Amino acid sequence: MAKDTGQKFMEHTKYQYLEMSDQDKGIEQPPIELEYDKEHKLIDLPNPKDIELGNVKLIDAIEKRKSLRKYSDKPLTMEELSYLLWTSQGVKEVRTVPITRRTVPSAGSRHALETYLLINNVKGLKPGVYRFIATKHKLIEVNLKEDNADKITEACLKQKFIKTSAVTFIWIAVPYRMKWRYGERAYRYLHLDAGHVCQNLYLSAEGIDCGACAIAAYNDDSINEILGLDGKNKFVIYISTVGKK
């Protein structure tokens, strides 16, 4: 990798270099969510409005927040998983534009991230890879093979706490959803958005006696291949484990 790659990225994505976007050209915007196989049954999650979890004050959660890599073998409940998904990518409103209003900020409300989950220890769910369908607040099975945890751990440079987590959040970026409005500068915003999402996960985890650990050290090509992503139109952008303290 050239030493000035990052510097060139910052230079070439400066605001003054923005060209006319596809939005400005009148091109139809991409869908607000990736398609999924309608033949596959969606898995219900508890309604976030009905969940009463934790009474930790925000200031306490901020003070306690730290990366946790050692977890107990106590499983997460479906209520707790639903809560974590809601706080990190919950859809509050779908507008007719259409855009989504969520529990996290996103440039232009583009919300170009999707959430995949490696489930290891959640009551009521078989271990495996799932996808969160945010607009419906439901899950869908992606891959329940027994070696998922091993493969994802290997792709994350053998960070073994992935296998001992209750769940590992894997956020993927769909860049055109952001590029449609912001062109090449969109790649800056994708990473900013991922940070918003992960911080919400950290703070909400504190509220249910859990800890999280963000992961940016992974083999991009390997993790994308495991999830069936092409690495260009869809790619993994950030990962975080979560488990009981």
Tokens matching residue 121: 């220890």
Q: Is residue 196 part of a domain?
A: yes
Res 178: pLDDT: 98
What pLDDT, in 10s, does the model give residues 62-119? 999 999 999 999 999 999 999 999 999 999 999 988 999 999 999 999 999 999 999 9
Structural domain boundaries enclosing 81 = 37-244
**Total number of domains constituting the chain:** 1
Q: Is residue 29 part of a domain?
A: no
Averaged pLDDT, 26-41: 93
Asked if the model's pLDDT at residue 4 lies above 80, the reply is yes
Nearest to 181 by CA among 52, 35, 32: 32
Please indicate, yes or no, whether the overall pTM of this predicted structure exceeds 0.85: yes
pLDDT bracket for residue 53 (50, 70, 90): confident
Q: Is residue 129 part of a domain?
A: yes
What pLDDT, in 10s, does the model give residues 163-195? 999 999 999 999 999 999 999 999 999 999 999
Asked if the model's pLDDT at residue 199 lies above 90, the reply is yes
Residue 113 CA, distance from chain mean position: 6
Pairing of strands 43-44, 138-143: antiparallel
Q: Is residue 16 part of a domain?
A: no
CATH number of 230's domain: 3.40.109.10
pLDDT bracket for residue 52 (50, 70, 90): confident
Q: Is residue 2 part of a domain?
A: no
Q: Is the peptide bond before 127 cis (omega within 30 degrees of 0)?
A: no
Q: Is residue 7 part of a domain?
A: no
Q: Is residue 32 part of a domain?
A: no
Q: Is residue 31 part of a domain?
A: no
Asked if the model's pLDDT at residue 1 lies above 90, the reply is no
What amino acid is encoded at 90 in this protein?
A: G
- Note whether 45 and 82 are within 8 A (CB): yes
pLDDT bracket for residue 220 (50, 70, 90): very high
